[in-house]
Chains A and B, each alone.
Chain A
């Protein structure tokens, strides 16, 4: 298993390296042929982001823009792209990573630098879509850490082995460089991701990891790229079912949906980030009714958002449609922690078992 993982890592690295090199070769070949070099950069505009019904996540369409060396407005971007590609190729080669902020500062020394971080972020994404690689593959990582993981799983990060059961009550923090991490061993049947760290700690205290033989993942709101990558990897590499449990409101719904079907903005890397097999456990509108949970009335912005979700291609599943309609109908929302109404243990002792059984 370790060997497979290592091979996978080496393969990915090789692929990134060659793709970056290929970008340079493309330009040099054109020059050698005395043609004006052009790069095809897939368009990231909303009109080119399409929902793939089969893959069940957003992908980029086949439209692209051309960056020509002969266009006075595009030449600077080409310059920034080749500089950035060289920087990334070097990172991949020496097996280091840099944050996009660091990359921005490094660019100060380039002949064609960036005017602001926004510009460097955009060019970074241009390279991602052009090569079809995620920024993590290119040695660039996001600033923020991922979620917390608690449960019976052992990671290898560099030379260190980490047991997520023995990393303190807050668990193991998913690193932005999650692709560098190998899964050495585990003894779980499933993964339950929860929106808040409050719920995470409740589950740790109530020994939920033992009761359900599960990994507990504390998302801390919208899931970071590293968290999504982690969930996809445990789902696909370890074949573990993934459940997401969030607050019972449109925002909680959507945190789950971004994990399941990816975001439109990252359509070009959703193949590495989306976990279409993940399941939404709750809190659903039906839960609010069935469990008679304490609620807050829906605000106007909540209703607006629910209506948006109803027309979003990712929510076309009838189950989602009926939950959204139901929530609008009852006009109420509820937090995960509202199960405490029935005692602190209730959510782990009663709610989760019932829901898991229902979904399986």
Chain B
């Protein structure tokens, strides 16, 4: 029996965003226990940072994660931001797609999903309400409210359960949420690592974190300046589609399409407007509301054929070399660090971006895996760490394409190395709603490559210099050990007194006489020093740069090595090699040595 069309539509209903994401929580990044918790940290931290910076406050966050039961945690997250006025609290935490960031501006969040997503996850897994305390300044006085609420998924709205006013001392927001089906992990994708990376990308922030075991980690600020607020920039014509134009035309109060274009797009001069009219044949003095689809389509088509100035980059605020290095130093205490910030360029013709890259070597750089230091890559987009989906990311792809051997890193995986790459853009082209990987646009890959190769070259120089210094030290050691013995033996051979030989020793070690003599008078400290550094170097030899250092150093000590030879050496070495081969050819006893002269 077939149903009538009207019956078929009996069950027709509208899905609110909250309902949709309740059924598709993976689209918010909530997949897997570890990842879900990391995403919660990410959303809350990101929101706190954005809020504080917009208010010109140095962000300070306190997070406490308590374990109630297996897979059941209570998260308490508080910040020192400007707070949220009471009337907006439930909108922020319970309404999906509500927010202040739907602009063409460089910011961490973009979609207005994050915080409400966390509340949704909490409610879905525990049924518990959210507790939010907010303190804000209004008309010169602090106001505070303490709310308990649930999310009404059907209505995409909050449902107030309790409300209490209080008198705060400072502004800020504190939220407490229950979670089940999540788990805290120290793995690379875990919440702790997320905080660590966040600190590197945001050295102006302070985070205090109490982990489920009760241990308190304090990540201090490495920089004391609130980052300059990015400015909103008008979209670039290259980044505009016909649909965008129709939308703009519908919602404008401009009377002419011409003035609509100049007021809503960047790089739109009179000259360009005339060019558009010429190419598309459309009269731009038309009223925007009268624009037909075919017309805007041919205008958009004209955009793609025209030459525009690159989009303004005033809206892009990189972290900056010094700030990145301060952040890296604070967390990684590296032996060497180099950082670079590329000039702004565009991808897809019209979206400006900046790549920043930094490389840290030694110290606490890299990840410790089973007592072995491994290199690690920290990807960032607008200062936010990207922890998942690294495989498909533009940064990963760019780094993979670099021939690391050329930079003295033969075994990149097993080096105490942290590579930092941050993409700054008004629009980061994320590959999915999870916002964890950057689309591999050719321009982005190119920029990441250039930036990383530049810092890698500096690292190579450092490694070389270090190797040379170590070799020099080893060389000096060899001389200091052998020269006295040889001169003593030569004196015995010549049947004479051992002559004064400090001058000769100074010459061969290429060190000054004073240096050699000076070391003898105050040798204690020096010896301790040199022992330390040698130990360090040795450790490194063993662990890290085996292939770089060991071979070469061995070569250098090795008598038969063939580096660094002058012409006479060459003759010598040759003859020795030949001798060797002669010896090999005549290993048999003399009585059978019929082949002796085969040579």
Contact = CB atoms under 8 A, between A and B. Distances in A.
B578 A72 contact: no
Interface in A17-56: 20-21, 23-25, 27-28, 30-32, 34-37, 41, 43-49
Contacts of B589: 144
A112 B328 CA distance: 48
B592 A221 contact: yes
A254 to B, nearest CB: 6
Interface stretch (A81-89, A100-108, A165-173, A178-186): A81-89
Interface string B494-509: 1110011101100110
Contact of B559 (A20, A64, A73): A73
A155 B321 CA distance: 90
Interface stretch (B81-89, B356-364, B390-398, B478-486): B478-486
Contacts of B495: 21, 24
Interface stretch (B172-180, B518-526, B566-574): B566-574
Interface string B214-241: 0000000000000000000000000000
Contacts of A312: 597
A36 B509 CA distance: 11
B568 A66 contact: yes
A23 B491 CA distance: 10
Tell which of A64, A222, A264 has the most Cβ of chain B within 10 Å: A222
Given A25-B494, A75-B478, A86 B489 contact: yes
A111 B559 CA distance: 17
Contacts of B485: 79, 111-112
Interface string A53-71: 0000000000111110111
B586 interface: yes
B131 to A, nearest CB: 71
Interface residues of A, number: 66
A312 B597 CA distance: 10
Nearest to A144: B590
Given A45-B571, A82-B486, A72 B504 contact: no
Given A86-B489, A86-B492, A265-B586, A222 B482 contact: no
Interface stretch (A4-12, A118-126, A326-334, A351-359): A118-126
B389 interface: no
A25 B494 CA distance: 5
A78 interface: yes
Contact of B504 (A23, A69, A144): A69
Mostly helix, strand, loop or mixed at chain B's interface?
helix
Contact of B493 (A24, A66, A118, A220): A24
Contacts of A254: 594, 597
A202 B594 CA distance: 23
A27 B489 CA distance: 10
B274 interface: no
A245 to B, nearest CB: 16
A28 B557 contact: no
B594 A255 contact: yes
B494 A45 contact: no
Given A79-B485, A222-B590, A222-B592, A66 B572 contact: yes
A89 B490 CA distance: 12
Contacts of A25: 493-494, 496
B476 to A, nearest CB: 9
B559 A142 contact: no
A37 B494 contact: no
Interface string B85-123: 000000000000000000000000000000000000000
B32 interface: no
A264 B490 contact: no
Tell which of B569, B573, B579, B583 has the most Cβ of chain A within 10 Å: B579
Contacts of A48: 575
A35 to B, nearest CB: 7
A116 B583 CA distance: 14
B599 A86 contact: no
A49 to B, nearest CB: 8
A74 interface: yes
Nearest to B555: A73
Contacts of B558: 73
Interface string B580-599: 10110010011111101111
Contact of A125 (B478, B499, B508, B579): B579
Contact of A43 (B483, B556, B572): B572
A263 interface: yes
A49 B582 CA distance: 12
A74 B504 contact: no
B489 A83 contact: yes
B590 to A, nearest CB: 5
B487 interface: yes
B599 A65 contact: no
A43 B596 CA distance: 19
B576 interface: yes
Given A24-B492, A73-B561, A222-B592, A31 B586 contact: no
Contact of B482 (A47, A76, A122): A76
Contact of B478 (A45, A72, A86): A72
A324 interface: no
Contacts of B482: 75-76, 78-79, 112
B458 interface: no
Contact of A65 (B503, B556, B575, B598): B575
Tell which of A63, A69, A85 has the most Cβ of chain B within 10 Å: A69
Contact of B596 (A23, A24, A118, A263): A263
A78 B578 contact: no
B76 interface: no
A322 to B, nearest CB: 21
Interface string A241-277: 0000000000100110010000111000000000000
A221 B593 contact: yes
B196 interface: no
A82 B493 contact: yes
A120 B492 CA distance: 20
A286 to B, nearest CB: 22
Nearest to A261: B597
B480 to A, nearest CB: 11
A258 B595 CA distance: 11
A232 interface: no
A270 to B, nearest CB: 12
A118 B583 CA distance: 9
B569 A65 contact: yes
A36 B582 contact: no
A77 B559 contact: yes
B571 A63 contact: yes
Given A72-B557, A79-B485, A264-B597, A21 B493 contact: yes
B475 interface: yes
A76 B576 CA distance: 15
A224 interface: yes
B281 to A, nearest CB: 80
Contact of A28 (B478, B490, B571, B573): B490
Interface in B441-499: 475, 478-479, 482-483, 485-487, 489-496, 499
27 contacts: A25-B493, A27-B487, A28-B496, A31-B499, A37-B490, A45-B575, A64-B571, A65-B569, A65-B573, A69-B486, A70-B507, A75-B478, A75-B486, A82-B493, A85-B493, A86-B492, A118-B580, A118-B583, A121-B583, A220-B591, A222-B590, A222-B594, A225-B590, A254-B594, A258-B596, A265-B599, A312-B597
Interface of A: 20-21, 23-25, 27-28, 30-32, 34-37, 41, 43-49, 63-67, 69-79, 82-83, 85-86, 89, 111-112, 118, 121-122, 125, 142, 144, 220-225, 251, 254-255, 258, 263-265, 308, 312
Given A31-B499, A76-B559, 17 more contacts: A21-B495, A24-B489, A24-B490, A34-B504, A45-B575, A45-B577, A65-B569, A69-B486, A69-B508, A72-B557, A86-B492, A112-B486, A144-B591, A221-B591, A221-B594, A223-B590, A258-B597
Shortest beta-carbon contacts, A-B, top 9: A24-B493, A65-B572, A45-B575, A24-B494, A27-B490, A222-B593, A82-B489, A43-B575, A70-B508
